[in-house]
Amino acid sequence: MRKKKPVCEHEWVDYKCTKCGQFATDDDFSLISDNTWELGSLSEIKEKLSPELFTLHIGINITGNFQCDGWHNIFMYQGRLLPHTEAVLDELGLQEIKNSFSKIITRFPKFASDEFTCDNCDELKFLYGAYWELPEEELRKYSEEERTKIADYNRLIEELDNISDKYFGYDTPYDGWESVIVYIKKLHNTD
């Protein structure tokens, strides 16, 4: 079958096409995000972008990664996003998700303490794996403090996943991208 010619070879500036005036949608976000990641480390990206564009970059990565794998995998593999997550959720008007996220950070402050390193990966893997994979008798070998930590982490992640589903789930407006799309339109002063 012959491919349809695209309406426009979009050139995105601030998530708006300079040729046809169309706003970027979730079909375009991963490409724009990949290009942004090429600007350098996250702190370099932060320096190069306006605060609004930085918010969008983080917001898009949180939404997309959540949709793929949920919050535990963001903690495991996208740790560099975490120090910025509370501010970005606030900025995007996602207070309910932010409040739930903050509970994890209050309980486990080091998971969002600075730029991405995988120092926390072993512990995260343990907390998650112990809960889902260890048989009951293995789990009993750990101290009560360790078992409480395991239970707390998994309970808080599950709560955060459930709340996030209400905003980022595929069955929500704009397939989970409403907060990002509203923010882009606000950036360009259109409703």
Closer CB to Zn ion, residue 28 or residue 86? 28
Closer CB to Zn ion, residue 21 or residue 109? 21
Considering only residues 5, 6, 15, 20, which one is a binding residue for Zn ion as defined by CB under 5 A? 20
The β-bridge partners of 17 are: 12
Q: Does 8 bind Zn ion (CB under 5 A)?
A: yes
Q: How many residues bind Zn ion (CB under 5 A)?
A: 5
As given in the structure block, the two tokens for residue 48 are 């190069």
Minimum CB–partner distance for residue 85 and Zn ion (Å): 31
Closer CB to Zn ion, residue 29 or residue 153? 29
Considering only residues 2, 5, 6, 17, which one is a binding residue for Zn ion as defined by CB under 5 A? 17
- Map tokens 């998971």 to a residue: 111
DSSP string over 87-137? HHHHHTT-HHHHHHHHHHHHHSGGGGSSS--STTHHHHHHHHHHHHHS-HH
Q: Does 49 bind Zn ion (CB under 5 A)?
A: no
Minimum CB–partner distance for residue 18 and Zn ion (Å): 8
Closer CB to Zn ion, residue 9 or residue 137? 9
The β-bridge partners of 23 are: 16
Considering only residues 12, 13, 14, 19, which one is a binding residue for Zn ion as defined by CB under 5 A? 19
Chain CA centroid to CA 111, Å: 14
Closer CB to Zn ion, residue 8 or residue 121? 8
Q: Does 118 bind Zn ion (CB under 5 A)?
A: no
- Alpha helices (runs of H) in the chain, residue ranges in sequence order: 26-37, 42-48, 51-69, 71-77, 82-91, 95-107, 121-133, 136-139, 144-168, 178-187
The residues binding Zn ion (CB under 5 A) are 8, 10, 17, 19-20
